[in-house]
Structure 1
Amino acid sequence: MEVVRRFSNYKPSLWTHTYLNSLTSIYGENIYKERAEKLKGNIKIMLKEANGTLNQLELIDNIQRLGVCYHFEDETDEILKGIFVNFNSTKNKRSENISLYAASLQFRLLRQHGYLVLPQDAFKDFIDDGTFKTKPSDDTTKGILNLYEASFLAIQGENILDVAQDFAIKYLNENLELTTADDPTLGEHIRHALELPFHWRMPRVEVRWYIPIYQSTLHMNPVLLEFAKLDFNIVQALYIEEIKDLSRWNTSTKLTEKMSFARDRIVECYFWMLGLTFELQFGYTREIITKLGFFVNVIDDAYDTYATLDEVRLFTQAIERWDVKEIEQLPSYMRVCFLVVFNLINELVFNALKEQDIDIGPPLRKALLDYCKSGEVEAKWYHSGYKPALDEYLECSLITVSTPFLIICAYFITASPITKQAIQSLDQYPSIVRWSNMVVRLADDLATSYDEIKRGDVPKLIQCYMHEKGASEEEARAHVNHLISESWKKINNNLYVESPFSKTYIPIAMNLARVSQCVYQTCDGNGYPTPESKEQVASLLVHPIPI
């Protein structure tokens, strides 16, 4: 009997192997690295000699927005620690001198770096009967823009920051045209922030946007600007070599050839990894997680549409048994896919045993099996015509979005040392993993739900909410956006609580949410890339910034 299969009809990759291997960059040469090192030394002196809290905050903010903060972690940490100590010693005193702009910038930077400043202390001079006010001396629009940005560092229960956000959104929308006429750079900042706040944006994409904006500001620092441009281009030269290697790997595995029904998205997978870890030292993390991300893309397409239910069960069973002999039971198109993930996971296990004498095989295989089992559940829903309840859908789809598996793998690659406490925590999908992945799930569903249903997938969150609550599509989308905001508050809390995870891993997990909101902001940039989304990728991988 002939098997009837469903097809997603994905378009071919926008990036050919030939094109990727033609990419070059001059910025890998020593002359540029030597110049960057000299500028880096000058900036360290600037940080050391910066006087006044506001000057220090503005310098750190620009260093962060320009994407070079990873070069100056010790210097910025020392400055912010001093500012926090001073803040705590004076927080009970009212100040007529601090502006809303300075108070908001201080609050945001301290919170971003793990200092739990309370909003009622930070903004006491600007709150009157539960509402916000501005002082006549304030640069009003700039201050309110920074208040808006600061409000997204809220944790649960901080209603005053919800009030601040509503106040700021209303003011900025009402005064956007006036601001634009008065100061084009500030107006561009406002439009950009209202689209998506800084705290939610993918760092490397934000850097590419901010560098030309910073260049046109009145008080631009030429040394800082040149260093940011050079650093961006030097790191981009490394990215080019990494994506070439990944393209060769993709071609050599013949995974795309064997599973021709699936998405061929090696560049898009790499783009996700740049969002998690853009820094030079994380090259191996980007390599392995990109390969694993490519695997989950193709197996997701098999589970969602192409595979029969029996084939889904067979693959899940093979993952559970974790024996290479299991490929004999799999359909031919799934065999290479199994071997790819089998070899990648075993490579990670080998490296951990060799370098840290710890067996990470069980937690890695559990995370992968959880993903496959949840995918099998969704396949059963589709084949039986079952419509899950809202909570039931969320609990399952939080795993099938695949990023919990990937972000758990990222821990084992980046952590040194790997701790038993962290392994035990990851087994239960701790807060930083759960809520970052919740944002991925929600952003994904906002962008892709109808396309996925058309190609034969189960109902998504929007449809489940409409069905269960009797809501309109507009109401369902508003609810999903509310869930994203609430999830971010829970993510933020991980900056301030004791955790078995390092200061390296927590930002990586947070970045997962940021990448999803970038990829799914205007389209399904993973399944159906557009010319605009391709240009966004090219701005990070292909086009250097003119020096």
Structure 2
Amino acid sequence: MATDGSKRRSANFRPSAWDYNLVQSLRSEYGEKEHMERVTKMKEKVKDLIRCKMPRVQKLEQIDAVQRLGLGYHFEVEIKDALQAVIDGTTNTAWTVDNDLHTTALRFRLLRQNGFNVEQGVFERFMTKCTSSFKESLREDVEGLLSLYEASFYGFKGEAIMDEARTYASTCLENLKENHIWAKKINHALDMPVHWRPNRLEARRFMDICEEDQCSRLNPVLLDLAKLDFNVVQSIYRDEVSKLARWWVDLGLNKMEFCRDRLMEHYLWNALMVYEPQFGAFREMSTKITCMITLMDDVYDVFGSWEELQLLTKFIERWDISEIDKLPPTIRTCFLAMYNTTNEIGYWTMKVRGFNIIPYLHKLWINQSKTWLEEAKWYHECHKPTLQEYLNASVTSIGGHVVLFCSYFTTSDKLSKETLEYLCSIPNVMYCSSLILRLTNDLSTSSAELARGDNFKSLHCYMNETGASEEATRHHLKNLVREAWKQMNEDVIDANPCSGPFLGACLNLARASQLFYQYMDGHGIPDCETKDNLKSIIIRSVPIKQQRAAKCASD
């Protein structure tokens, strides 16, 4: 059995890119009461805008702008009512009267995006009857193609028209992206569709787009409210992350050299998952849980010997610290941090929600530890699992299930034994979200992890199992990601006993995964894009023209 004094493996993780002393001192003027009062006044103006009568396409574009600017959470009732009015006034004849691909595709996307089911058949009139392909005449309709492309990512499994829409629109836009007047919009869409982008970052980008677009039909009050609201919410994020930095430093785990010190990145994950300001309890507790997941993952992957990991797993199963001295000092410290953090969260839930959550969290930690141990066994026995064998363990081991479980009990006022047991059974919507997290992680990190001697990841499991090339394997895994998105699209519209912020968190965990692992390992190597994204969400306020904002608030 290894001891802390013996030579251990090292992953040579980079240190944190953040100065925690500076993080703890973060403050914002937008946390003052006067700014929140201005937001409240401006919200009333936007409610009137959403309710007022206007041409159908203009109404749809306005709703789209409200949501892309990050304001949707303020106007959920008004948006639902406006879209219901669109449905009530949209007979089958009305769909066909609009020979406008942009309006049809935008309407389809917004309805599915907001929980209304609409059939893919609304696109049939834009297709040729003989080939079931989209008409050649649409190739010059760039606005329509962009809307069709974005709508296609809301397809369900087995929807052939939506698959064709994605292929057709992607091909057309690829051919247009170089010199077209809309090249910037086209390239942004092809880089990643709106459906896969985290709301807060898309909101920040969309503000700049609206500012630059001199021909925009956007009402100025929307943009002004979006900027002010972004800064007010950012002030809340700053307070939250400064307190978490103090907790992390006091815990002393930022001094552990064998593991990833990623507090800021963990906070970003969780702020992207549940971004609404009123859910600070989720961001605080789930960030702490995410820190524990990464810490224990590194214990199992890098630090512990096989014998130590077997013993650690038994301690997690028993959830008992009476004989904790049997663990080596460093592993003992890590287990105690996990144990105490979980119990603190359990105490909060008992005090605020009146429910004992610890047995359910313990069950999920047992599942985590068993899959971590199974992966450690593969490493020590030089076992090369099949892709399915690997996914059976690794979709759990990556930790998405625990975080998504947190998103329910920290945001819901009505906890029940039946609902929590349902979540612990890992329903499809949780599994698909975690599968996307696992696959996007592997597509980005496999080469580096294999180089340092880690287990096979999904990429290498499939290549070893089938003999496929790396290019063909990447294509296969990306297709699995797309299929998981289709299933999740359907799951969030179907009746679900755990609706509300939980379903949004399932979608947003997948979106955050697409962001973190789009170009590189944005979690393990947290510089460049990840650091810039953190600055956009937490550090950089949106410039506001004070005179105009004050006028809009006072009118």
TM range (shorter): over 0.9
1:399 aligned to 2:400? Answer: no
Matches within 5 A, 1:22-421: 22-87=25-90, 90-91=91-92, 95-120=96-121, 122-129=122-129, 130-133=132-135, 140-180=141-181, 186-217=182-213, 218-219=215-216, 220-257=218-255, 259-421=256-418
How many residues were matched structurally?
537
Match of 1:9 in 2: 12
Residue 248 to residue 93, structure 1, CA distance change in 2 (3 Å): closer
Preserved contact between residue 152 and residue 162 of structure 2 (Cα < 8 Å): yes
Structure 1 position 95, deviation (Å): 2.6
Aligned-pair CA distance for 1:93: 6.2
Residue identity matched to 2:165: A
What whole-Å deviation, never above 9, does each CA across 1:380-430 have from its counterpart, x for those lacking one? 110111111111001111111111122112222122211333223223211
RMSD of aligned residue pairs (Cα, Å): 1.7
For residues 105 and 79 of structure 2, the distance between their equivalents in structure 1, rounded to whole angstroms, comes to: 18
What residue identity is the alignment partner of 2:159?
E
How far off its partner does 1:92 sit?
5.3
Deviation digits for residues 221-272 of structure 1 (CA, Å, limit 9, x no counterpart)? 2111110000111111111111110110011011222x32101110000000
The match for 1:183 is: none
Give the AA of the match of 2:161. I
More moved, 199-208 vs 25-34: 25-34
Q: Counterparts of 1:429-440 in structure 2 under 5 Å?
A: 429-440=426-437
Query: Are the counterparts in 2 of residues 100 and 134 from structure 1 also a CA contact under 8 Å?
Result: no
| 1:125 Cα deviation after fit | 2.4
Q: TM-score w.r.t. structure 2 length?
A: 0.93
- Contact 2:176/2:183 (<8 A) preserved: no
Q: Could you report, residue by residue, the CA deviation over 1:116-165 in whole angstroms, capped at 9, with x for unpaired residues?
A: 10011x223212221113778x9810011000000000011101111111
1:399–1:376: structure 2 CA closer, same or farther, 3 Å change rule? same
CA deviations on 1:426-446 (whole Å, 9 max, x unpaired) are 232111100000000000000
Partner SS for 2:493 = coil
Q: Secondary structure at the match of 2:7?
A: coil
Task: Among all aligned residue pairs of Structure 1 and Structure 2, give the percentage whose two residues are the same amino acid.
Answer: 38
Runs of 4 or more consecutive aligned structure 1 residues displaced over 6 Å after TM superposition: none
**1:70-106 Cα deviation digits (max 9, x unpaired):** 011110011111212333xx12566343410000000
Q: Secondary structure at the match of 2:492?
A: coil
Matched AA of 2:487: K
Question: Is contact 1:276–1:508 with CA below 8 Å preserved after alignment?
Answer: yes
Asked whether the equivalents of residues 408 and 501 of structure 2 are also in contact (C-alpha less than 8 Å), the reply is no
Q: Which of 321-330 and 142-151 deviates more? A: 321-330
TM-score by structure 1 length?
A: 0.95
Deviations 1:321-365 (A, max 9, x none): 111224222211122322222223223333444444433322211
Deviations 1:5-38 (A, max 9, x none): 1101111110011221333322112232222222
Pair 355,283 (structure 1): closer, same or farther in 2 beyond 3 Å: closer
Larger deviation, residues 408-417 vs 236-245 = 408-417
Instruction: Quickly say closer, same or farther: Cα 1:107–1:305, change in 2 above 3 A.
Output: same
State the Cα distance separating 1:199 from its structure 2 match: 0.5
Cα distance in 2, alignment partners of residues 292 and 352 from structure 1: 14
C-alpha distance in 2 between matches for 1:86 and 1:367: 47
Q: 1:215 to 1:134 in 2, by over 3 A?
A: farther
In the alignment, the residues of structure 2 paired with residue 400 and residue 155 of structure 1 have an alpha-carbon distance, to the nearest angstrom, of 27
User: Which moved further from structure 2: 316-325 or 376-385?
Assistant: 316-325
Distance in 2 separating the partners of 1:413 and 1:94: 41
- What is the match of residue 548 of structure 2? none
Is 1:415–1:502's contact at 8 Å kept on the other side of the alignment? no
Please tell me whether the aligned partners of residues 282 and 406 of structure 2 are also in contact (alpha carbons under 8 angstroms): no
- Gapped runs of 5+ residues in structure 2? 545-555
Q: Which amino acid aligns with 2:211?
A: Q
